[in-house]
Amino acid sequence: MDTQERTINTPDFTAGDALQIATYQVLAQDGTVIPGAVVPELDEAQALKIYRAMVFTRVLDERMLAAQRQGRLSFYLQSTGEEATTVGFAAALDDSDMIMAQYREQGALAYRGFSVEQFMNQLFGNDLDYGKGRQMPIHYGSKDLHYMTISSPLATQIPQATGYAYGQKLAGNKACTVTVFGEGAASEGDFHAALNMAAVLKVPVIFLCRNNGYAISTPSSEQFASDGVAPRAVGYGMKSIRIDGNDVLAVVKAMQKARKLAVEQNEPVLVEAMSYRLAAHSSSDDPSGYRNKAEEDKWRAKDPILRMKNWLLKQAWWDEAQEKQLYESIRPQVLEAMKRAQQRPSPPLEALITDVYDRPPAQLEAQLEALRSHLDKYPEAYPKSAGGAARG
């Protein structure tokens, strides 16, 4: 679209607050539907599937953080407090839609059917891990579930999603790509390049920003002076919406509409989900150094899982006995799968240089041989890698 020709005769600047985007919300915290709110169509089976994935994610996070503290796991990232966003967006998609997530979207994988064994195999980098132990924990990926493997560098998945969605458009696929990132990643250059390219090329991509208040220790108030992230899309010529990220019904409905725009009209869309990271940024972080308990308690009262549960109770689709049974079934599943994953052997050493070249080049073969010699010389320093199964 060309810049509209319109002239004025006074030097009036347009201020940033000229565009204030309201927040779409459906549910109050007690589970009642706000009068006049547009509610997504969800049957009982899908609603319970969403809720179970949210609870599974919470339990998985609790147990894996405990495992990290016990020294059983090297690293972990929780999504506590953001389960409505990370599960709700997946529930609005078709299974063939591509997800390019950041590192806090285990709920989407759980909703799509990633098993507890698959989570554990990746976290412990054993021989059944799809990444063959070459990635840090929480770098999940699944070709079968259309979930691109997580990348460690910040924001790289955003322009990749635009490119992938452009491919979907050229192929004539009736599918879209969703890329997820935090508001800190929205300050990276990759974010702006991705949005501009998506708007110009008109590709079926949805940019889902989890505005969870902090980019590690930096509060959002110190990240940008504008009205959040949502207005930026308008500047690039895209539609945008801000939603209550702790309200799973708002997430589902907004994402359903975003998908319709993307798939049926090739319109890229930005969705900004307002939430709060109740947990630390990672297992290596201590949030008490930059935020206080009163702030956390305020958001703890907006727990997205409790809000969804209250709604299910009002629908008469759930009761306290089912609630107790759900938690009692998930906890042992996670613990038993963790034990099995820990007991699996490591991937073979040769896996370090496979999967890229049809035949590894000579320099990689030489480096592998040097590594073997190093492990033979200092086996006590590498007890796991120097084991028989690990050497392959």
What's the pLDDT tens digit per position in 70-106? 999 999 999 999 999 999 999 999 999 999 999 999 9
What are the DSSP calls for 169-186, one per residue? HHHT-S--EEEEEETTGG
pLDDT digits (tens, 9 = 90+) for 206-215: 999 999 999 9
Q: What is the pTM of this model?
A: 0.94
Torsion from C-alpha of 91, 95, 97, 103, nearest 10 degrees: 60
Per-residue pLDDT tens digits for 284-321: 999 999 999 999 999 999 999 999 999 999 999 999 99
Q: What is the pLDDT of residues 220-230, one digit of tens each?
A: 999 998 899 99
Mean pLDDT calculated for residue range 179-202: 97
Tell me: pLDDT of 329 over 50. Answer: yes
Run of H or E residues at 100: strand 98-100
As a three-state string, the secondary structure of 22-82 is CEECCECCCCCECCCCCCCCCCHHHHHHHHHHHHHHHHHHHHHHHHHHCCCCCCCCCCCCC
